[in-house]
Chain A
């Protein structure tokens, strides 16, 4: 089955700096890679996703890159703001009889004003 590893577990940056979170996956058949943001005490919410037929996707200050050969994908946040502080989860779909979304272990991002 799919295994998703996520690094770092915590990340502290100064406001205005960039933040990068990296994930690796094990199942080469995985084809869908979403990123969720969970603010303290709130529900996880999708912020961006990428499918295996593209290598990069951007939405304003956030971007995701995918390297299928190396089986890793990354979230890039530029010009970070205090409201970006949250736990970020990567995920990958597990192929097989059931489509199962497997989450990474999460990264706590703290943006210092």
Chain B
């Protein structure tokens, strides 16, 4: 009965490869997000979607492409991976856009070699 689940939990890959992270929420929330947490623990918003519509694109390189097939899913595809992409990527959802509690997934640790 996990509220926000993301897969895979760990990703180790070579520079230049393409990878995807999937996220699903069963809370019935309208808004979903991707956050990046770097090695210094800074949490930075990357994207938010409200009912499948892109709301926030926080000047993320276009190598990152989110896709929301329905409001319960928000996937993240990353092309041409770079060393600096190594981080923990958290998916989250909220009932209310912005001012509601964020429910985070467990995180996906991406390591680019």
Contact = CB atoms under 8 A, between A and B. Distances in A.
Interface of A: 31-32, 34, 36, 38, 42-46, 49, 51, 87, 89, 93, 98-103, 105-106, 108
B21 to A, nearest CB: 14
Interface size class of B (residues with CB under 8 A): 20 to 34
A40 to B, nearest CB: 11
Contacts of A42: 106
Nearest to A99: B98
A53 B58 CA distance: 29
A interface majority secondary structure: strand
Given A43-B106, A44-B104, A45-B104, A99 B99 contact: yes
B41 A43 contact: no
11 contacts: A31-B99, A34-B101, A42-B106, A43-B106, A44-B90, A46-B101, A51-B99, A87-B41, A93-B98, A101-B98, A106-B42
